[in-house]
Amino acid sequence: MSSTRIIQPNTDEYTLLIEGMTCAACVSRLERVLYKVPGVVEASVNLATEKARIHAHGVPVSALIAAVQKAGFDAYAEPAAQAPMANPAAAVSPASNTGVRQGRFQLPASTSVWPIVLSALLTLPLLLPMFGILFGRDFMLPGWLQCLLATPIQFWLGARFYRAGWHALRAGSGNMDLLVAIGTSAAYGLSVYLMLLHGSHAHLYFESSAVVITLVLLGKWLEARAKQQTVSALHALSSLRVNEAIIRHDGIDSTLPVNAVQVGDILVVRPGDRVPLDGFITEGASHLDESLLTGESRPVAKHVGDKLTGGSINQEGVLIMRVTAVGTDTLLSHIIRSVEDAQAAKAPIQRLVDRVSGVFVPAVLFVSLITLLGWGWVSGDWQQALLNAVAVQVIACPCALGLATPTSIMAGTGVAARYGILIKDAEALETAHAIRAVAFDKTGTLTEGKPSIIAVEGTTLSSERLLQLAQAVQQHSDHPLARAVMHYIAAHALAPLPALHAKALPGLGVQAEVDGQTIYLGSARWMKTLSVDTAAGESIAATHEGEGHTVSWLAIGDASGIHLAGLLAFGDAVKPSARTAVEKLNALGIRSIMITGDNEGTARSVAQAVGIEVFHAQVLPSDKAALVAALKVKHGTVAMVGDGINDAPALAAADIGIAMASGTDVAMHTAGITLMRGDPSLVADAIGISRRTYAKIRQNLFWAFIYNLVGIPLAALGLLNPVIAGSAMAFSSVSVVTNALLLKRWKPGN
């Protein structure tokens, strides 16, 4: 099964930016709320990205926002990506965008640093006397002064916990805020009760509630800052977008907003400028820095006719380009959207966490109640019983559970994109770690995909006539072999011939009528199907195939039958990194297999050159998917690597499809992973980052579960006081995110 995300047909897709989520329980509650909106067919909420992705039938975005707000959260429609403007003059006037938050990657207001600083300053006088006791000094503050310091912390700086906890209760759910609010209120209330009962010098617990609130605020701030680092890849990609472009019209250059540029416009790119949009060079030559788009560290030489990608940096030459894509159709927009989708999507392993989160808070409250009653009845010390119950509530951390998976996914997909590995969704990232075999297409994947004519062997026709007929039947084809013929014809200034009724047969060849005769150009298999006698060219063909060349046979049909006229031999260089790719996969314990529609001899030659032992030749495009399915039965999890339209079914049939960005859009849309440089050695790196990310997810989930499984019982047994419990709770979330951030150290090859 492919990892491609299945989008519900005929639905609208919305992305909402959510403020106010604090833990996995908030995620579960929000998803339940969104699913209750009539017309919503799919809703996925991500704690780490603070986004909700919704698919719905005929639901206005205002209804979705209202549902989220009713649940106690703030919601905004995500700003749309850059798009071309119908009226360029409108580009200079800022349009109002009600309900849309314009700033991305900003720390939420609830995690501003000033409340933490103020809370710490108010807490410090409450905490210092505890250290004095260690040195035999008792300078505990009077109860009224402790209350004066603790009250603004509890009800002003800690008001967010009451608000969020109340919204959760109204929705019939619970979250981290509810646990903190109940726990600290209990400690604060007990202190007030004891102060009123025994006077100002009674032993009070104001410092417990104040320290817990301060530590939780600090933990959420550190967590938010750490989460921002997981989207650093999106920071870098978004910074590549250009706001203005120099457009040339009737020989006059003028500067316009980039969203006023249309397909077909002529742009001027000066040295040092970023390329505004996708297109191709019409004048000039230069080197382009594409490192942030493809991971290629060296500048790439570009000449007339070469493609330019928006966001790359022009180095030394002035370039004139014609625009071919604008707005959301550019490669940069596609990359950003893919990274955002991958970071917003949920990995399959997250389903377990979601099920646990749904019952986590009620279970903690139940354990807290049992702790209170148990300690109170057994010991008779209801003060200590209450403190132990508070510790249970404070140490419980659904945040760590909620952040364990998405932060790892965000960091993993981000660092992969930095090195030219574009992972479409979280499922693809999770699936790739289990790959046991990789099936490679040959042309354009293991080879350069730029074949050239090596030899023209006529049996009944001259070489010139043979080439003219080959050009005639292929003149409207975009196949690599057809392009090789066109280049050869152009280079040798041969006169083109017209053709009628051209028809392509996938995996076999092409045919057309030329000068009243039917011309057939294709594989040896097709010649046998047509009953063509190929004896005159078989020895020549065998020689070329043994040298790794691809052979196309040309036959002519007339009233007497179909007769061989000659053959063309094509050479296609093996990519320099192809052998390295196979060696890296071997080192990972992964079997490499080649699947090609080419002849047996050529397939064997290429397989030997790159170090592949198992290959399948003369496989029709329609049969590739079935062969991939058979490989899955034999090897387990299988990836398919390809770049052409004919590879799309096989890419979809594999457990994970890996496409070369140098290939067709169809292949890239079908695949779960796209290699932006078209470098086969990146296949092993894609699997490597998947394995590293999956390991981080498992580590984070292990520690998140263990933390709660160990911490809650310790608190219930009276072995942790609320201050230590609060410290541990704050540390758990930060440690999970920090562990995920270690993925940013990953580099290809390690």
Q: What are the residue numbers of the active site?
A: 441
Q: How far from chain centre, in Å, is Cα 701?
A: 21
- Give residue for tokens 């604090």: 22
Q: Could you give the strand order of the β-sheet that contains 591-595, starting from the edge strand earlier in sequence?
A: 421-423, 673-675, 656-660, 638-642, 437-441, 591-595, 614-616
Cβ 330 vs Cβ 352: under 8 Å: no
Burial of 573 (0-12, 13-18, 19+ CB in 10 A): middle
| Distance from C-alpha of 188 to C-alpha of 472, rounded to nearest angstrom | 89
| Distance from C-alpha of 118 to C-alpha of 112, rounded to nearest angstrom | 11
| Distance from C-alpha of 684 to C-alpha of 675, rounded to nearest angstrom | 11
Q: How far from chain centre, in Å, is Cα 663?
A: 20
- Give residue for tokens 């002849």: 599
Closest CA to 715 of 499, 396, 448: 396
| Distance from C-alpha of 508 to C-alpha of 406, rounded to nearest angstrom | 46
| Distance from C-alpha of 364 to C-alpha of 369, rounded to nearest angstrom | 9
Cβ 638 vs Cβ 628: under 8 Å: yes
* Amino acid sitting at position 662: S
Q: Could you give the strand order of the β-sheet that contains 319-325, starting from the edge strand earlier in sequence?
A: 252-257, 244-249, 266-269, 319-325, 278-283, 307-308
* Amino acid sitting at position 683: V
Q: CA angle at residue 332 from 50 to 344, to 5 degrees?
A: 20
Q: Write out 47-96 in H/E/C secondary structure.
A: CCCCEEEEEECCCCHHHHHHHHHHCCCEEEECCCCCCCCCCHHHHHCCCC
Q: Which two tokens stand for residue 695?
A: 């390991």
* Amino acid sitting at position 634: K
Q: How far from chain centre, in Å, is Cα 674?
A: 10
Closest CA to 105 of 225, 280, 250, 243: 225
DSSP 8-state code for residue 646: G
Residue 291, H or E segment: helix 291-294
Rounded to 10 deg, the angle between the 24-35 and 350-379 helix axes is: 120
Q: Convert 641-670 to b/e letters by CB count within 10 Å (16 or more is b).
A: bbbbbbbbbbbbbbbbbbbbbbbbebbbeb
| Distance from C-alpha of 708 to C-alpha of 713, rounded to nearest angstrom | 8
The bridge status of strand 673-675 relative to strand 656-660 is: parallel
Closest CA to 330 of 81, 507, 142: 81
CA-to-CA separations, 246 to 126, 264, 278, 303, 518, in angstroms, rounded: 63, 14, 14, 20, 51
Q: Which two tokens stand for residue 578?
A: 């192809």
Cβ 49 vs Cβ 27: under 8 Å: no
> How many CB atoms lie under 10 A from the CB of residue 381?
13
Cβ 511 vs Cβ 473: under 8 Å: yes
Q: Which two tokens stand for residue 242?
A: 């250009």
